[in-house]
Structure formats: C-alpha cells, structure tokens
Structure 1
Amino acid sequence: MARTKRMFVDGAFGQIHLRMAVPKIMSKRPLLMMHMSPKSGRLFAGFVEDASTDRIIIAHDYPGFGESDPPPSDPHVTIEDYAQSVWDVVDALDLGKVDLLGYHTGSEVVAEAARQRPESVGGIVMVSAPIFTAEDIAEMKQTYSFTPLDAEGTRFKKMWAAVKAHRGPGMTLEMMAVTFSENLRAGENYDWGHRAAIEYATTYPETVKKLPHRITVLMPDDDLAFYTPRIIPLLQNGEVVDCPNWGHGFLDAHREQAISVIKTALDAS
C-alpha cells in the first residue's frame, strides 16, 4: 500500500481537495471514489490507503464539501456539477481512463460522470442505488429539508439522530463522531448535496439504463436497501451484490472484506 497524500487541484468553482495514494507498481486503472451527502472524501480515507496496492486511488471532496471551494449559491449546484468535478480531477492529474465508485449521492455522480465521458470510464461500483418514485421524492424533500440554525441546536440534534439511526454493524462511536463532524464542515451548504441528489433522482434511472459499462451495485443493509433492487432491470451489464452484514461505516468496520469485494467487481470490468 501507499501512503495517502492530500492536495488541491483547480476545478470549475475553485480548488478541489483530494486524498490520493499512489503505489510503486500500478497494474490497474486508477479508482476515483465519490462520497455521500453531506460528507467528504474523508469517508474513504482508510480505504484509499489500504487498497492502494495495485492502483492509484483518489477520493475528492465535492465543491462545497470538505475542504473544496463552494460553487455560487445561485444557480443551485447539481449532480452534473459534481460529476464535472470528477473530470476536473482526472484532467488535472492526467489519469486517462479510470474506474469509478459512488456511495449514495455518489451513485448518481458516477452515473452522470460516465454519461458525460463514457470513453473515459472502465468499471463502475455503486454503494446502494437511489431509485425513487414520485412519492419517494416528495418524502425525501421533506426529510432532508433545510433546518435553520437556532440556539437550541435543532439542526445538530437531527444530524446526530440520523447518524445513530443509520449506524451500521461494527460502527464505533468514534466512527460516528467522524462522520458527524463532516456534516458540520459543510456549514450552511450542508443540504446542497441532498437537494442536488433529489433533483437528479428522476434522471438517474434513465442515465443508468443507457450505460454500457460493467456496473456492480453493492447493497448493504442501510437506508437505501429498500430502493436499491429497483436498479436490477435497468442494468445493461451488471449485478446487485447483497451485503446484508454491512451498513454505514462498512468501509472501516469491514475494510478488508470491502477491499476484496470492490476489487473483484472492478476486475470483472
């Protein structure tokens, strides 16, 4: 494995922060990893280092999350913008053809990135698939609506309650604290990723349906497990892999197994 380095590259909205591990010998395509909302590339920090035995692995922060510069508040940032940030990173580092992994919001981002530049993508892995009906979307808009700051800390109580509710097997309190802290780093932009994901939800199924790439969808027992099987008939070339013993935090709690499953999926492409 290689030691992770942190750096910035220029993107459409300013600087993009990323974590990157580069092994001495590279026999596989680079892998770029896209986080859920409202998180950052820190979600993949341990994985990036431990899995980088045979390929470059990169996890960047979407514009407005982690340490990446935010886009303007108007017009609203979109999944298309987040996907463009993928190619900003690829082009800045001259990576060529790459594999992509997306987690929740990231599943939409990698689909859109592959739509934008299909010839630049090898294999795709998605962690859960947000395939929503119109009724689901209406419910999501309510669930993830913006909570203003107040002296009682209502926003932060809701965030911590969500972290607890979505806690996966093996996820320690320390892991929960780290993921909660990433919510806070997004500041008043914290809802931008959810809003972008919900707006793209009607486009996502048709985007997936048209992709010829090998797509492996991992289905942990998380808050999207009910919706994820809906992607099965949309896959031209792929499969859904049931991961019932995983939940949020699996990239740390079950890292060795996760590395094996993800690399096997990418090798199949």
Structure 2
Amino acid sequence: MARVKRSYVDGTYGQLHYRIAQPEKPSSLPPLYCLHQSPKCGLEFETLMGVIGNERVVVAPDYPGYGQSDKPPEEHLATVPAYAEACWQVADALGHDTIALFGNHTGSKVATEMAGTRPGHVGNIAMVSAALLSDEERAFFADYFTPIPLDEAGTRFSTMWQRIVERRGPGTSLEMLAQSMMMNLLGGEEYEWGHAAAFSFAEPFEEALKTLPNRITILNPADDLTDCTRRAIPLMRNGQVIECPEWGYNFMDVWPEEVAALLKSHL
C-alpha cells in the first residue's frame, strides 16, 4: 500500500486540503484526481488511494467547506464550477497539467466541469453514478437533503446515522459507517451546500455527457441512483455504463483492489 499524505494549497476562499499518494518510481500515467460526493471529503478515497498510489500519482482534494478545506463565505458561492476551480487550483499548485478524473456522485458533475473548462488537459474520466433526475426525483432529493436544524435531542445526528446504516453496502463495517458519519460532521452547518450545488447543475451535466470528447466510464453500483444512471447510456458520445450490482455504498473501502483494477483498465 502506498502511503497517503496530506497537505494544503491556497485557494479562492482560504486553504484547500488534499490527500496525495504516489509510487516510489516515476509513472508515465497521468495523475488521477478523485472527486468526492456530498457531504463527504477526500477521505472517502483514502483506502483506494493506497492501492492506486502504487502505480500512479493519485490526489483527492476536499472541496471548499468540506473536510479540512476553508468554506466560502456564502452559500451561493458553493457551486459545482467553484468546486472544479478549487480542484484545478490544487492541480496547478502541484504542477499537474494533464490529469485523469474519478468522480463520485457530486464528484461526477465536478469531473465534467473540470474537463469542460480546460479542454485538452483532462484524459479519461470515470465516475460513480450519474444523477440524471426527473423533476419529481430532483424535488424528492432536495427535500430529503434539506438541512436538519440543530436541537438538544440531536435529531440531525440520529437521522444522519440512521440513513448511513440503512444504506450500508455489502461488507461495510461499523468502523466504515462511523467514518462516513465523521465526514458528514466536518461539513458543519454548511454540510448540505454540496447537495444543493449538485442539484442545480443538472442541465450542464447532461450537456457535458452529450458533448465532451473524453472517454467516460460510469460505474453503476446498487445505490439510490442506480436506475437514473442508466439514462446516461444513450447520451454519451464516447462512453459506457458498467453495471456493478454487487457493490453498494462504501464499496471503495470494501473492495479497493477490485475497484483499482477496474479503474486501471479504463483510466
């Protein structure tokens, strides 16, 4: 397992935190940037990074307001384009000109925005799920992810934990669930800004799937987006959806070697 290190670079709203793993010998493969879901952070890739980092440089930034990165001063500044810009700021600081991308849920949208804003500087793209939602589905998820006010009964935290446990994937340990909960808490009072940013990026994401020249591979595990992810199949000009019915939430922690091998064959 490659060692995963942590550091900071300066971003638009303060410091940007990132994780990085790299092989002992230089690699000809472009650095792989891992882009997290909401309301998590780069920590969700750490186990996987230890495997991938044996063969190539792999970086997992925290978006502004998540993990250990400083937050924007106002919610309207927390957008998918802002998250993409922050990830490019990390890449620029590290001297990474051309990169590959792996996005998870919200990170899928960040990946397409990164590719669209810097054509020619992104190679292949892989993503977990594609939130191509109907109006009804979008309204449901927007309501589901409405921030829960703090109260002395701890309703926000008990609801978070209940949802995490209900959605645990095959093979997920209690320790993995606790880490998922901890990442949620790092978002503070702004923990749902990322979901709102993702929901408002529906049309640009669909257009990107239709027009980006990059090869796009979408992993489709058994999660809340399984059915709508298949809507991407007729849209992509250069891509495929790979069904992963045996995988659920936390699959990158449960099967990191298998995920790394799949990504290696497509990135």
TM-score category (smaller protein): over 0.9
Count residues in correspondence. 266
SS of 1:6 mapped into structure 2:
strand
The residue that corresponds to 1:177 in the other structure is 178
Offset at residue 261 of structure 1 (A): 0.6
Q: How does 1:220-239 map to 2 (within 5 A)?
A: 220-239=221-240
The residue that corresponds to 2:33 in the other structure is 32
Q: Is the 8 A contact 1:2 1:23 kept in 2?
A: yes
Q: Is the 8 A contact 1:27 1:54 kept in 2?
A: no
- The Cα offsets for residues 152-175 of structure 1, whole Å up to 9 and x where unpaired, read as 111111111110121101111110
The residue that corresponds to 1:108 in the other structure is 109
Question: Partners of 1:114 and 1:166 in 2: how far apart?
Answer: 31
Q: Is the 8 A contact 1:31 1:58 kept in 2?
A: yes
The residue that corresponds to 2:148 in the other structure is 147
RMSD across aligned positions (CA): 1.0
Where does structure 1 lack aligned partners over 5 or more consecutive residues? none
Offset at residue 53 of structure 1 (A): 1.9
Q: Does 1:164 align with 2:165?
A: yes
The residue that corresponds to 1:251 in the other structure is 252
4+ runs deviating over 3 angstroms:
none
Q: Is the 8 A contact 2:129 2:218 kept in 1?
A: yes
Offset at residue 74 of structure 1 (A): 4.7
Offset at residue 96 of structure 1 (A): 1.2
Per the normalisation by structure 2, the TM-score is 0.97
The residue that corresponds to 2:192 in the other structure is 191
Corresponding letter in the other structure for 2:197: A
The residue that corresponds to 1:64 in the other structure is 65
Offset at residue 192 of structure 1 (A): 0.5
Corresponding letter in the other structure for 2:95: D
Q: How does 1:81-120 map to 2 (within 5 A)?
A: 81-120=82-121
The residue that corresponds to 1:128 in the other structure is 129
Corresponding letter in the other structure for 2:175: E
Q: Is the 8 A contact 1:78 1:196 kept in 2?
A: yes
Question: Partners of 2:226 and 2:248 in 1: how far apart?
Answer: 10
Corresponding letter in the other structure for 1:95: H
Q: How does 1:4-83 map to 2 (within 5 A)?
A: 4-25=4-25, 26-83=27-84
Q: Is the 8 A contact 1:132 1:202 kept in 2?
A: no
SS of 1:55 mapped into structure 2:
coil
Question: Partners of 1:2 and 1:253 in 2: how far apart?
Answer: 17
- The Cα offsets for residues 33-85 of structure 1, whole Å up to 9 and x where unpaired, read as 00001000000011112211221000011000000010111534111100111
Question: Partners of 2:257 and 2:61 in 1: how far apart?
Answer: 22
**Identity across the alignment (%):** 45
- The Cα offsets for residues 172-200 of structure 1, whole Å up to 9 and x where unpaired, read as 11100000111011110101101101111
Question: Partners of 2:143 and 2:2 in 1: how far apart?
Answer: 43
The residue that corresponds to 2:265 in the other structure is 264
